Amino acid sequence: MNWLQQMLIPAPETEGDANFRAGDNVVLAEGTFQCTPGVFLKLTDDVNWAEIKEYNGIVRSHPVIWLRHSEAFHAAVQGREISAMTRKAA
């Protein structure tokens, strides 16, 4: 899937969570800077975009659909890794 398709095709509801609050730890689950951690600051005037403070202190705007709560993202990644290891062992 290319970047344009990712922008146009919404993520499954179970992966995304638009219920972010200021101070939530988030990670970019999609896009060019995938896996970048940060802290959710606020939605922009366009509510499809949010400002996050990245680990390096820089504040940037990203599409909300690309954001995941850190805990949920890491749990999903770990689940995929365990599943892949199980398939290799079989």
pLDDT higher than 80, residue 84: no
Asked whether the CA dihedral 6, 64, 76, 32 is positive or negative, the reply is: positive
What pTM, to 2 d.p., does this model score? 0.63
Could you tell me where the beta strands, DSSP code E, fall in 1-84? 25-28, 37-43, 49-54, 59-63, 67-69
Residue 10 lies in a domain: no
For residue 76, give the 3-state DSSP assignment: helix
At residue 71, the pLDDT reads 74
Domain range spanning residue 70? 15-89
Residue 6 lies in a domain: no
Tens of pLDDT, residue by residue over 11-70, are 444 344 468 999 999 999 888 888 889 999 999 999 899 999 998 999 999 999 999 888
Residue type, 21: R
Locate tokens 């344009």: which residue? Answer: 4
Residue 29 lies in a domain: yes
